[in-house]
Amino acid sequence: MKKFYVIAGEASGDLHGAHLVKALKKQFPNAIFRGFGGEKMKNEGVYLDLEIDKLSFMGFAEVIANLRTIFKNIALAKECITQFNPSAIIYVDFPGFNMRIANWAKRLGFKNYYYIAPQAWAWKSNRAYKIQKDVDKLFCILPFEKEFFEKYGCNVHYVGHPLVDIIQDFKNSIISDSIFSNGQKVIALLPGSRQQEVRKILPVQLEAANKFSSHEIVIAKSSHLPLSLYNDMTHKYGSRVRIIEGKTYEILKRADMACVASGTATLETALFKVPEVICYKGNLISYHIAKRLVKVPFIGLANLIMNKKIIEELIQDELTSKNLYKELKKFEEKKYLKDLLEEYNHLEKKLGLGGAAERTASIINQDLE
């Protein structure tokens, strides 16, 4: 009987981790799963030793302020892995934490698989050397990543992007639109999955969205953040704003436009063909450090994959309600909207036919056998 320890530290990792666990169950019907993650992994039967709201800290300053907690979490992961003694450890993105565990686990002889490759091509390229040393197999999901990691001698497999399957599965399922009882247009606000992101980004999104008087404003609430965090910022808008938890895809399916914090959600929104503006504002110190270290021209995944800006990005000082409103207004221009939707179609084709989790699970099966 196989045992897998799965570590995901963010909402996107929880989503992809759950999808991979589901695929692994087909390859290993009697397998036991344990790890760090969120609600989606738990729903797939993973016993969680720690949930993601205790794990993720965004930005250099925030990481430094929470070092004691981070080291405590690393110690807990090592203790749980030692106790569980898994057949393999599966790391899902979250490189700052996961690379530390992978190095420790490799020295103890554990099998290491990394799903959703660290973005070493964007910054910290030395991580590729560490992956080559500490990771048995690396599974990348972006078309250009395989060539990058092969240059460093990594055992790398390009498996395609899991969102293609996840979103298609959702679209194929019978979903009720009961959360939207009227025909009113919808602006979706996705302000991120971390408290510090929501505090900085949501007020700007709300102020801009409120200028569209004919639209309903719907916030996709992160399930592991307290409702009070959102209520503090939305109470002055009254019934104009709805806060909905755990229904992000239902919201995107219905949305006419969206304001989205950087990350996986920007690509999800694009695959739902929703016109969006990428919004990001972080700690000032963290932002200026990142600006000097990051080597890529965009923060949006869709822009990176297309190698050009197809979605507008408002970052740090550029993220004002005035600028955001100006960009959202462009979606009312037919030509602008038509061109954007054509780019979305090209993006979808570039990501391929799907099957990422199944392909990864199959390779893991072959390797373990």
The type of residue at 115 is Y
Contact 272, 252 (CB under 8 A): yes
The reported pTM is 0.79
State residue 63's pLDDT score.
55
Q: Is the dihedral angle over the CA atoms 23, 42, 119, 315 positive or is it negative?
A: positive
Residue 66 — pLDDT band, cuts 50, 70, 90? low
Task: Examine the pLDDT at 176 and tell me if it is beyond 90.
Answer: no
> For 68-78, how does the pLDDT look when each residue is reduced to its tens digit (9 = 90+)?
888 899 999 99
Across 103-107, 129-133, 143-147, 255-259, least confident range = 143-147
**How far, in Å, are 24, 162, 359 from residue 141 at the CA level?**
17, 7, 11
Residue 146 — pLDDT band, cuts 50, 70, 90? very high
Q: Does domain 3-160+354-368 have CATH number 3.40.50.720?
A: no
State residue 260's pLDDT score.
97
Q: When comparing pLDDT for 116 and 66, which is higher?
A: 116
Same topology, domains 3-160+354-368 and 185-351? Answer is yes
CB 232: neighbour CB atoms within 10 A? 13
Q: Span 185-351: which CATH code?
A: 3.40.50.2000
> For 317-367, how does the pLDDT look when each residue is reduced to its tens digit (9 = 90+)?
999 999 999 999 999 999 999 999 999 999 998 887 789 999 999 999 999
DSSP code of residue 66: T
> For 194-214, how does the pLDDT look when each residue is reduced to its tens digit (9 = 90+)?
888 899 999 999 999 999 999
Residue 199 is encoded by which pair of tokens? Answer: 């505090």
Residue 288 — pLDDT band, cuts 50, 70, 90? very low
Residue 119 — pLDDT band, cuts 50, 70, 90? confident
The stretch 252-266 carries a mean pLDDT of 93
CA 174/CA 154 separation, integer angstroms: 41
Residue spans of the domains in the chain: they are 3-160+354-368, 185-351
**How far, in Å, are 113, 348, 365 from residue 369 at the CA level?**
15, 34, 6
The stretch 15-28 carries a mean pLDDT of 97
The stretch 166-179 carries a mean pLDDT of 77
Task: Examine the pLDDT at 285 and tell me if it is beyond 80.
Answer: no
Q: When comparing pLDDT for 236 and 352, which is higher?
A: 236
